[in-house]
Amino acid sequence: MTSNSTHSQDISPTDTKTKLTLTILSVWHIIFTVGALTGALLLWQGTTETADWLKIIFSIFLVLGAIFSVLAVFSIRQRKHRGRAISLAVNYLGFLASFFGLLHVTGFFTGIDSLGENFSKGLPYMGLAFVGYLIGSVGDRYQDNRPSIAQKFRKTAQVLGALGGILFLFAVGIIPGILSFISEFTSLPPILLLLSTIIFGVMVWLMWREPTRIAMNTRSKDQLMMEGYLFLSPNLIGFLFFFAGPLLFSLYSSFTDSDAFGNANWIGLENYQEIFNITIEPLEYIDQLAKEVINIEVYDELYRFNIFGKHYVIGAEDQLFWISLGNTIKFVLLAVPMSVIPALLLASVLNSKLPGMKVFRAIYFVPSVAAVVGVAMIWRWLYNSTVGYLNYFITGFVEFVNSTAGSQLLTDPQVGWTSDTQVALISVAIMAAWQWTGFNTVLFLAGLQNIPGVLYEAATVDGANPWQQFWNVTLPMLAPTTFFVLTTTTINAMQIFDQVFVFTRPPGGPGTSTTTIVLYLYKQGFQNFRQGYASALAWVLFLLIFGLTLAQYMRQRAGDEAI
Amino acid sequence: MSTYRIGIFLRNLLLYITLTFFAFVMLFPFLVMVFTSLKEANDTYRFPPKLLPRAPITMAVEGFEEELPLYYVDNEGVQDKFVLIEKTVKVGEYAAANQLDTTYIRELDLVTETAGKTVIYEGEEVPLYDITVNGETIPMVRIARTALGRFADPNDPSKTLLQNLRDSEPVEKLTWHPENYKEVINLHGMDRALTNTALITILVVLGQLVTSVLGGYAFARLNFPGRDSLFVIYLGTIMIPFVVVITPLYQLMIMLGWVDRLAALIMPWIFTAYGTFLMRQFFITIPKEIEEAAILDGASRLQILWTIFLPASAPALATLSTFTFLYAWNSFFWPLVVINTGNESNRVLTLAVSVLGGRAADAPNLVLAGAAIAILPPVIIYIFGQRFFVESSTSSGVKG
């Protein structure tokens, strides 16, 4: 230890306090290394029911922590900035892990439920705090000419805000919450976690302080780096934990027969094989039974077709996947044009600088803010085959035409919007297009407003009529927007779920006429609990979407070059 | 010149007609929702459908205990308003055997058989009845039996007439039944769903603002190794559909013990690549000079963020908030997966409405009241903060 301090003195002059700090940090890192390695070993000794892969991940983290701790000790001795960076990273991550671990074991996260229970009692006080905020913002108007009044307003606002906040906390039960939090500290894990949270926290603080920073020869560039990671860390860690991690796990899971209850065996490509496994066999005559030509223990009949006078039957191992894929493609082909073409039309009209356009734009956007579930309920009612408005309007129209023509020109179709297997998917597409049109209109409008007016002036000088202008100026200039709108709408349409789940009874019905890929995935993953298979379906869907987007992108690029 | 003006006028007229038509298409379903949710249950199933909620008018009439419903009746060729005093009066349709086209309607109870006389009618031997027409009694055959309603003049209840009840149109007034909302909230657990949704939305918006601002600032202004490649990864993940992570995320929730818990609806949504991207794009437009001056004055990064960046980025924050608000409020798939639909205390609005749609399928007024509770808060907020909603949609990439 003495040699350590004398050694470091050679590099930069440091006061005794800082030297002590660095010694404490080094000792801590040695203790931590030993602790982490022991922990990693103990993890495999005990009879805990933790899953193996979880143990592996924990062990990796602990061993990595230990290795970096050792590195940190050496670098701290040499007063290299790297040591500070490693030490801060290890301690910061340790701090976060123990802090969130503490919150977890003390039931903080599940305690949000009781907050939900009492939330309504706190709402009036929240309103009080909001009134305080409003008073404060009114006061800001006097800031320039009558600062004393602004000051008074701000005081009132602060008092009201604080009062509202405190009363809110009491109303939603902060005291029972704290009491139950404290009562958790009778067992060992919370106490240990609290202790380690404090220790890690103190270590981070010791290393972060200005004197230590100077002693560790941190340059401003290094400091900038540390700050960068620090600022990004909440986002990055959450992102890794809740998105990137699950994303990788999903890929792994698609190669297993995982069932959501912790049982998973590696089965390689079997899931994907099952999804894509199809067979084509020739038929001897047109209505020959499928079981005579294909192995019906594996395949279900999917489709029959006829080429050059010969009949064939297609069988698929997962018939429902192909049906849902077909439904999804049909849905995309219906809903995308229905929500993009009217949007383009409306946007071009809204772009004419007539009065009142903002009002119309505002109206068109309303469906996009409404919850899909609620919208589906409304449309179920509009689609009602006996008393719904849609059939009523159609009947009215048919009667009008017939009475004008004086003959039975049209017959009233009396569409079974939700009960007819031929129509149900169209009904869903109309509903979805209705909801998406306004959003697309706003996107197109923004694109149109970016087109320089000079181009139209030039076109007018050249004698182009409005239609030619639209075709030769607007559409080419709008291509990036169109690409964006088409891509996002297609991506949304490929993932259609909420609409069919709520709108159709039973979800995906009648029959399988509205079963889409995501709905099928949901049924496999959360009703049959074949989560590995569901993951494989998800990746197939992702690759489809990715391929489509790429293809649209290539086409747009090609189009750009042609111009 | 004037033909040109007429042309312009006609063109504009056409434009406005188109726009108004589409405005009607966009708003009509919402009008149906609001008005149906204020109807009585039996007022919803009527054909032809009527938009506004109506209720039959009832009147107190002398000699009757209960109030009686008022109907339009055909009183000797004049339309009049009578009250219904008896729903089913059994009547027969009678005609003289030699003159079957002229029929007379008489109450069964008031008609007696002509003693001992029968006649062959449609191949069967049937009795004849004494029917009085203009004081003259004629034997007639009964050719049909039916039931009619008995209506009385409210001013003179002794004056009555018979009329087919099903074809009679009730006299109605416009009403509304806001108690539908009360029923949905109290009986179908919508109150808890509403406060849960509000709580979740508030926490998700706040949490996402914090992480996005910090992350966006780091990406925009702080130089650290790996920043740009990390940013590209962030951007790339925006495109990945949520369904890809849904099963592992569900398993993560099982591991953390958050299945059926509100935490599962909050925590995963606080960290998003999209929000970070949005804030980074905005922060990058703020001039560097201001920041450098503040650093020279010895301000810390957090102080700079708080005093310089946040006040300047109010529009971006509002945009991100509205976007996140809509997402959190309207999300359905994830709550459906992670919250048991039977769990009334931890449900969110979208789930509650979906359950209500199945449970009260025969009461559209209640279902649509539930839908209105889910739909109206975002719509109302939209009306006040329209600008930010529109901006949040265009900022998603079209400006490039």
What are the domain boundaries of chain A? 2-108+188-236, 112-186, 278-317, 321-383+418-562
Partners of residue B240 in chain A, C-beta under 8 Å: 247, 542
Residue B33, min C-alpha distance to chain A (Å): 6
Give the model confidence (pLDDT) of A348-390 as tens digits: 888 887 888 888 988 999 999 999 999 999 999 999 888 889 9
Q: DSSP code of A64?
A: H
Reply yes or no on whether the pLDDT at A8 is more than 70: no
* Domain A321-383+418-562 CATH (choose: 3.40.50.300, 3.30.499.10, 1.10.3720.10, 3.30.70.360): 1.10.3720.10
Which residue do the tokens 């607007």 mark?
A474
Q: Nearest chain A Cα to B227, which residue?
A: A228
- Mean pLDDT (chain A) is 86
Minimum mean pLDDT range among A307-316, B74-83, B234-243, B386-395: B386-395
Partners of residue B364 in chain A, C-beta under 8 Å: 381
pLDDT at A559: 66
Q: Could you give the CA distance from residue B143 to residue B99 in angstroms, rounded to a whole number?
A: 12
Closest CA to A392 of A405, A379, A383, A380: A383
Reply yes or no on whether the pLDDT at A15 is more than 90: no
Considering chain B, what percentage of its residues have pLDDT values greater than 90?
A: 24
Considering chain B, what percentage of its residues have pLDDT values greater than 70?
A: 97
Give the model confidence (pLDDT) of A214-242 as tens digits: 888 888 888 888 888 999 999 999 999 99
pLDDT at A341: 94
Reply yes or no on whether the pLDDT at A244 is more than 50: yes
Cβ A212 vs Cβ A84: under 8 Å: yes
Angle (deg, nearest 10), helices B227-238 and A220-239 = 20
Nearest to A377 among B16, B263, B367 (CB): B367
Nearest to A366 among B250, B329, B379 (CB): B379
Residues within 8 A of A (CB atoms), B 219-258 only = 219, 222-225, 227, 230, 234, 237, 239-252, 254-258
Domain residue ranges of chain B, discontinuous segments joined by +: 2-54, 55-174, 181-394
Reply yes or no on whether the pLDDT at B396 is more than 70: no
Closest CA to B265 of A527, A105, A115: A115
Residue A383, min C-alpha distance to chain B (Å): 11
Q: Could you give the CA distance from residue A24 to residue A241 in angstroms, rounded to a whole number?
A: 32
Q: Nearest chain A Cα to B26, which residue?
A: A364
Reply yes or no on whether the pLDDT at B306 is more than 60: yes
Question: Who contacts A400 (Cβ-Cβ below 8 Å, separation ≥6)?
Answer: none
Q: What is the DSSP string of B165-193?
A: TTTPPBPEEE---THHHHHHHHHS-HHHH
Q: Which residues pair with B172 in a beta bridge?
A: B56
Considering chain A, what percentage of its residues have pLDDT values greater than 90?
A: 29
* Cα dihedral B395/B396/B399/B400 (nearest 10): 140
Question: Who contacts B312 (Cβ-Cβ below 8 Å, separation ≥6)?
Answer: B286
**Token pair of A217, please?**
């020869």
Mean pLDDT of B30-38: 93
- Residue B261 and residue A109: Cβ atoms within 8 Å? yes
| pLDDT band per the 50, 70, 90 thresholds, residue B67 | confident
Query: Most B CBs within 10 Å: which of A377, A385, A398, as the mutation test of the B interface?
Result: A377
pLDDT at A12: 52
Reply yes or no on whether the pLDDT at A188 is more than 90: no
Partners of residue B45 in chain A, C-beta under 8 Å: 387
pLDDT at A146: 77
Mean pLDDT of A455-479: 85
SS3 A259: coil
Give the model confidence (pLDDT) of A51-107 as tens digits: 777 888 888 999 999 999 999 888 888 888 888 889 899 999 999 999 999 998 888
Query: Most B CBs within 10 Å: which of A82, A350, A369, as the mutation test of the B interface?
Result: A369
Sheet holding A278-282, edge to edge: A278-282, A310-316, A300-307
Q: Could you give the CA distance from residue B39 to residue B180 in angstroms, rounded to a whole number?
A: 8
Query: Most B CBs within 10 Å: which of A52, A112, A501, as the mutation test of the B interface?
Result: A112
Q: Could you give the CA distance from residue A372 to residue A388 in angstroms, rounded to a whole number?
A: 19
Considering chain A, what percentage of its residues have pLDDT values greater than 70?
A: 96
Which residue do the tokens 């067979």 mark?
A279
B210 touches chain A (CB under 8 A): yes
Provide Rg for chain A, Cα atoms. 33
Nearest to A232 among B218, B250, B372 (CB): B218
pLDDT at B209: 94
B270 touches chain A (CB under 8 A): yes
Domain B181-394, CATH: 1.10.3720.10
Reply yes or no on whether the pLDDT at A450 is more than 50: yes
More confident residue, B336 or B41: B336
Minimum mean pLDDT range among A4-13, B162-171, B207-216: A4-13
Partners of residue A485 in chain B, C-beta under 8 Å: 398
Partners of residue B346 in chain A, C-beta under 8 Å: 113, 116
**Token pair of A442, please?**
């706003």
B318 touches chain A (CB under 8 A): no
Residues within 8 A of A (CB atoms), B 140-169 only = none
pLDDT at A260: 72
ipTM over cut 0.85: yes
Partners of residue A378 in chain B, C-beta under 8 Å: 29-30, 32-33, 368, 371
- Residue A388 and residue B49: Cβ atoms within 8 Å? yes
Cβ B60 vs Cβ B83: under 8 Å: no
Nearest to B326 among A104, A369, A374 (CB): A369
Mean pLDDT of B168-174: 83
More confident residue, A12 or B192: B192
Partners of residue B344 in chain A, C-beta under 8 Å: none
Mean pLDDT of B369-382: 92
Query: Most A CBs within 10 Å: which of B200, B243, B322, B376, as the mutation test of the A interface?
Result: B243
Q: Nearest chain B Cα to A115, which residue?
A: B199
Partners of residue B332 in chain A, C-beta under 8 Å: 371-373, 498, 501-502
More confident residue, B199 or A135: B199
- Residue B19 and residue A360: Cβ atoms within 8 Å? yes
Question: Who contacts B242 (Cβ-Cβ below 8 Å, separation ≥6)?
Answer: A495, B333, B334
| pLDDT band per the 50, 70, 90 thresholds, residue B400 | very low
Backbone angles phi, psi at A233, to 5 degrees: -55, -45
pLDDT at A343: 94
pLDDT at A364: 92
Is the peptide bond prior to B268 cis by the omega test (within 30 degrees of 0)?
no
Residue A369, min C-alpha distance to chain B (Å): 6
Q: Could you give the CA distance from residue B307 to residue A398 in angstroms, rounded to a whole number?
A: 65
Query: Most A CBs within 10 Å: which of B42, B247, B379, B398, as the mutation test of the A interface?
Result: B247
Cβ B87 vs Cβ B149: under 8 Å: yes
B13 touches chain A (CB under 8 A): no
- Residue B375 and residue A375: Cβ atoms within 8 Å? yes
A-B contacts at Cβ under 8 angstroms: 329
Partners of residue A360 in chain B, C-beta under 8 Å: 19, 22-23
Q: Nearest chain B Cα to A447, which residue?
A: B398
Reply yes or no on whether the pLDDT at A294 is more than 90: no
Residues within 8 A of A (CB atoms), B 368-387 only = 368, 370-372, 374-375, 378-379, 382, 386
pLDDT at B77: 78
> Model pTM?
0.85
Query: Most B CBs within 10 Å: which of A209, A368, A373, as the mutation test of the B interface?
Result: A373
Closest CA to A339 of A552, A514, A490, A501: A490
Q: Could you give the CA distance from residue A553 to residue A487 in angstroms, rounded to a whole number?
A: 9
Nearest to A243 among B219, B227, B245 (CB): B245
Cβ B336 vs Cβ A497: under 8 Å: no
